[in-house]
Structure 1
Amino acid sequence: MICMEKRLRLFLLSFILSLLVSPPPRAAAAQLDPNYYANICPNLENLVRGAVVKMMSQTPVTAPATLRLFFHDCFVMGCDASIMIMSSDGSDEWRNPADFSLKAEGFETVLAAKAAVDGDPQCTNKVSCADILALATRDVVSLSGGPTWPVELGRYDGKVSLGSDVVLPSPDFNLDQLNGMFGSFGLTQTDMIALSGGHTIGASSCTFFYNRLYPGDPTVSPGFLLQLQQSCPNPLLNPNAFAFLDAATPLQFDNAYFRNLQQGMGLLNSDQVLFNDPRSQGTVNLFASNQSAFFSAFVDAMTRLGRLGRRPRSMGRSGGTADSLTR
């Protein structure tokens, strides 16, 4: 009920924002550029970061929720903020069951950052929601102890959001399935493993790994299995039951996720398979022993992920309509 109330609140807020009148779009950039807004909205990064800091001070859910929102957005028709579009007929990405697990705090972070940016007269209606989401994602990672990086900017917001377009990795995927899906976006196995390392923060509903608990997946550490069985006795009776994706340091962006995999403490099958399959085990071992190597690979993978679906002006909307989140 709480989740539904938050979703309704977001829908109403975005509906109000959609009533704002926006100027026509600017000419599309030839390519993404970290300095895209240097002369348009010079204080952009400080404005977004300030909003993110405030949101993170209110709830630890902000960081994983925003990071996951960015991934879900980019994996469906590219990084165009179409995940933020909420249609009156319920046909949008947001209402696809695969996106039901997205937390309201991620959406709220983007809306808060957008409000902060538009509060600067130099920036009003000039920055796309897609770019704000990309910046906010970088900031939640770095503020959680992870790396920082120059975010490439100049995206246009999508005009269309369809739940039928949503195809995301399943928590039950094996390595071939993971490589196949990520590879279809031009991402390598190393990219996929590094992006999976984003599971170093956040949690998962028991429904996504319940099938590993009973009678008990032999690849799960016995002690960890018992802990999970106690946390998730029956998700049907308690749909809000969850477990941290990184049981060691769930609020810290670090390489503990990979050390957990070495110990049979991967929460999802798609996590643990990265260590169990000899084709990917070497990369897991590298990231587990060398946090700098993980951070470097994560930055490279996030940069490539952020380039998915670059839209020319004819296919997208400028920053002026970035806050028009309903249609």
Structure 2
Amino acid sequence: MIRGIYTKAFGGGIAALAFVALAPGAAQAQLGHCFGYEVSPGIFVDYPECGETANVATQLGSSLSGIGDAMINQQLNVGAFAAFAAPTGRLRHTNHDGLTIKGGGGTTPEFDTDEASFFGNASYDLPGTWFGGKVRVSGLLGYNTLTQDDEAKTFKNEIDAFIYGGSYLWSKGNYYSMSLLIGLSGDADGRNAGGSYNYDISGYYSNSVMGYTWDMAGGWKFDTRVNLGSYDIEGDRFTLPGTANTIKGHAEGWNAGIKGTVFTIIEMDGGVARPYFAAGYKNVFGEDIEVRGDFTADFEQDNNYGLLEAGYDYVQGPWTYGAAVYTEFSGDQNTVGGRLGVSFKLQ
């Protein structure tokens, strides 16, 4: 198989680089780190599949976070409490500078992720009051697909997964709290210069928010919310192309954030419009990105994220139509995306 082989002076960087063919088992005499593994004195080899499977895990965690945000916005923006059914479609593109390799220095190659998802969401408002407020429960079922590659097209990951979950919303006056859990189950197919491989993936994303909506002058309102969430994505063990060695990827972490939304309500064309603009900040902490198996590696990425979003909801009779565009950014990556949704009140 084709592997990246190079001589390396650890104090002075890479001295020479070439690609050569390795017979299976040539690098199996001593197992160790995925990157900069010494196959003979002064000769080192990289296993790029380690970075590729880590890319999959981290971006799926980010994807579920975005789906969770869409679900929260949909629940909070639909208006007065009433059961409803709502399909939502999402598209987004992420450019990532590469994961930082712990212990070995350097980063994995830059990569892009293109994502498309579609999910249906059905909700029901419980009759009466609960803890002095109203309660809405909902369920979610959908499909998510991601494609990853780098500018040089040296690798490609294709991920297909089903998503499912539910949420709980409590509201009293201008106060609200909401918790959700989204699960994921699917598979990833990878290809690079060494060959192809595939493995199953699974995981979850959870988030809890608390918020309050302030009434402002001129009919404007300001909604502020804080959140605490977590994600955990794991891939099954797979065999490195052309070898007998196996690895598996895993990523998990917590996040805490704050988000503010300015909006107003406008009556127009027999309906009600709700334009809004939002900005937020999120810190990811305790993030653990790792590859384990016959070869190992640990990674990290910037853990501070900003968010800007603009959207528009329009309610006419039992129908609510919504659209939004947004960007999320950190020191390592930038994401742009959009979503469209429609809901129909059943109660």
Q: Which bracket does the TM-score occupy, shorter chain normalised?
A: under 0.3
Higher relative contact order (CA 8 A, sep 6+): 1
TM-score w.r.t. length of structure 2: 0.21
TM-score w.r.t. length of structure 1: 0.22
Higher normalized helix content (fraction of residues)? 1
Higher normalized strand content (fraction of residues)? 2
